[in-house]
Amino acid sequence: MYKENYPSKLLEEAVDAINMLPGVGRRSALRLALHLLRQPQENVHHFTAAINSLRDEVKYCRVCRMISDDEICSICSDNSRDRNTICVVESVRDVMSIENTGQYHGLYHVLGGIISPINGIGPSDLTIRELVARVAELCGKEDGYGNAADLADGETGDGAMNGNAGAEVILALSGDVEGETTSFYIYRQISGFGIKVSSLARGLGFGDDLEYADELTLGRSIVNRQAFRP
Amino acid sequence: MYKENYPSKLLEEAVDAINMLPGVGRRSALRLALHLLRQPQENVHHFTAAINSLRDEVKYCRVCRMISDDEICSICSDNSRDRNTICVVESVRDVMSIENTGQYHGLYHVLGGIISPINGIGPSDLTIRELVARVAELCGKEDGYGNAADLADGETGDGAMNGNAGAEVILALSGDVEGETTSFYIYRQISGFGIKVSSLARGLGFGDDLEYADELTLGRSIVNRQAFRP
């Protein structure tokens, strides 16, 4: 461990601050602080101003909760996208990752986290309620919270027959216990609307060698085997 | 390479700014930007304020050019230190590293860089002139730039006899070509003052295995072998 003996209080405070970033230890923080010290003053001010602006001025899309410069994000306001499909993800980062694949053309819903009792995050800390409202609207039903959607008759969402036939919710959450829990929780909330609910395919990665696959993944890959498409 | 498709201009600008830090790629910059976005606003403001304060308010010691909160740094103003020895280093970081060894009790001189024609850094970009003036003063001579030191007689620094017998300059620069060049340049500037000039011991590291040492280091270790002290 690096002994802490700073020649300047200002340097120590900057190192303390930079050290708060994830994955940046005290040695790296010192290196970064000394680097910033060597830069022209206007570059450092530009650096800090960009971070402050991001934190102070960023907006979240009113529909999907994605980071956005406007009230409605560029994805939600893009009429060429499939408005019948909602892909539920944990974070902004996940939206960017899926967008980068170029394989998805529907809408998103950013939960802003994942149900995690250990970290004190419950369903009410996430945007699940907003998701249920969106699904209700998509299916032309009333959601469980009493918000009226443009419903045709007085039914509450229990019959699959009234669902929007093409509508689909994709639960694109991580495959760990917390992700599965969150997926299951959401599934229970929306299954009554008669909407198709899917989750990401799990199996061996493309190009993966059987020899190095873990047993759980390999086992699931066999159980969920797909028709061979040459 | 990560495709660049940012959902927000603010996010993109913050990522661009963070990406300027050494060793931080665009993926890491995005991760850090999204982390900062999740933090309470006051934490982010504290983070950027600490960096701005460091850059705007930090002082450099008038004597040794070390980072300092005062005009004269805590090392230069510490009367218990050996004022006859000056250790010449490239950067602030090097002072901290040597201080952390606890093995050195003299003063320092921070060059602020190293002579590097490729990077356009010449002797005049460093604090070599200030170093020569300090050495001249230490030896009671006039420096080559015509600054009077408290000289006894009218001699210019050519005789070793007039030097301060206990005075020493340690050239603690890196062992690469640029470091050696800088050491040699400084040596030529100060050798006339009749001061003892030394450099760091080079050889195998403590605990190093002969098998894995590079040939140059091993060769020098043999040539510069030391008396065995059991």
For strands A106-110 and B67-68, give the pairing: unpaired
Q: Is the CB of residue B188 less than 8 Å away from at least one CB of chain A?
A: no
Per-residue pLDDT band for B216 (boundaries 50, 70, 90) equals confident
3 state SS for A180-227: HHHHHHHHHHHHHHCCEEEECCCCCCCCCCHHHCCHHHHHHHHHCCCC
Question: Does the pLDDT of residue B5 top 90, yes or no?
Answer: no
Question: Does the pLDDT of residue B115 top 90, yes or no?
Answer: yes
Exposed (0-12), middle (13-18) or buried (19+): which is A64, by Cβ within 10 Å? Answer: buried
Return the number of CB contacts < 8 Å for A and B: 165
Which ipTM value was assigned to this complex?
Answer: 0.79
Nearest CA distance, B150 vs chain A (angstrom)? 30
CB-closest option in A21, A22, A47 to B20:
A47
Q: Is the CB of residue B36 less than 8 Å away from at least one CB of chain A?
A: yes
Q: Which residue has the tokens 């819903």?
A: A109
Question: Does the pLDDT of residue A218 top 70, yes or no?
Answer: yes
Nearest CA distance, B19 vs chain A (angstrom)? 10
- Binary contact (B34, A93; C-beta < 8 A): yes
CB-closest option in B8, B20, B44 to A69:
B8
CB-closest option in B37, B69, B73 to A58:
B37
Query: Which residues partner with A153 through β-bridges?
Result: none
- Binary contact (A57, B30; C-beta < 8 A): no
Structure confidence by residue, pLDDT tens digits, B43-83 = 999 999 999 999 999 999 999 999 998 899 999 999 999 99
Contacts of B98 in chain A (CB under 8 A): none
**Considering only alpha carbons, which residue of chain A is nearest residue B112?**
A38
- Binary contact (B5, A100; C-beta < 8 A): yes
Structure confidence by residue, pLDDT tens digits, B139-190 = 887 665 655 444 444 444 444 445 577 899 999 998 889 999 999 999 999 9
Question: Does the pLDDT of residue A68 top 60, yes or no?
Answer: yes
Greater confidence, B116 or B230? B116
Token pair for residue B137? 């003063």
- Binary contact (B44, A67; C-beta < 8 A): no
- Predicted local distance difference test score (pLDDT) of residue B180: 92
- Predicted local distance difference test score (pLDDT) of residue B2: 45
The span from the CA of B157 to the CA of B138, in Å, is: 12
Contacts of A46 in chain B (CB under 8 A): 17
Interface with A, mutate which of B27, B63, B96 (most A CBs under 10 A): B96
**Considering only alpha carbons, which residue of chain A is nearest residue B53?**
A10
Q: Is the CB of residue B27 less than 8 Å away from at least one CB of chain A?
A: no
Q: What is the value of pTM for the model shown?
A: 0.77
Report the candidate in B35, B41, B5 with the shortest Cα–Cα distance to residue B18: B35
Neighbours of B110 (CB within 10 A): 25
Mean pLDDT value across residues B211-221:
83
Structure confidence by residue, pLDDT tens digits, A156-175 = 444 444 557 789 999 999 88
Q: Is the CB of residue A46 less than 8 Å away from at least one CB of chain B?
A: yes
Greater confidence, B219 or B24? B24
Interface with A, mutate which of B10, B15, B32 (most A CBs under 10 A): B10
Mean pLDDT value across residues A196-203:
87
Percent of chain A with pLDDT over 70: 88
CB-closest option in B3, B22, B67 to A8:
B67
CB-closest option in A8, A31, A73 to B69:
A8
The span from the CA of B170 to the CA of B199, in Å, is: 5
Please provide the average confidence, as pLDDT, over all residues in chain A. 86
Please provide the average confidence, as pLDDT, over all residues in chain B. 86
Q: Looking at this protein, which amino acid is placed at residue A24?
A: V
CB-closest option in B23, B30, B46 to A17:
B46
Question: Does the pLDDT of residue A182 top 90, yes or no?
Answer: yes
The span from the CA of B71 to the CA of A133, in Å, is: 63
Q: Which element (helix H / strand E) includes A109?
A: strand A106-110
Interface with A, mutate which of B27, B47, B57, B91 (most A CBs under 10 A): B47
Q: Which residue has the tokens 């028709």?
A: A227
Neighbours of A100 (CB within 10 A): 12
Report the candidate in A5, A28, A1, A2 with the shortest Cα–Cα distance to residue A17: A28
- Binary contact (A53, B13; C-beta < 8 A): yes
Stretch among A117-121, A124-128, B146-150, B181-185 having the lowest mean pLDDT: B146-150
Question: Does the pLDDT of residue B18 top 60, yes or no?
Answer: yes
Q: Go through chain B and tell me how many residues it has.
A: 230
- Predicted local distance difference test score (pLDDT) of residue B133: 95
Q: Which residue has the tokens 């050019």?
A: B65
SS3 B222: helix
- Predicted local distance difference test score (pLDDT) of residue A155: 43
Residues of A numbered 192-221 whose beta carbons fall under 8 angstroms of chain B's beta carbons: which are they?
none
**A32, A38 Cβ separation under 8 angstroms:** no
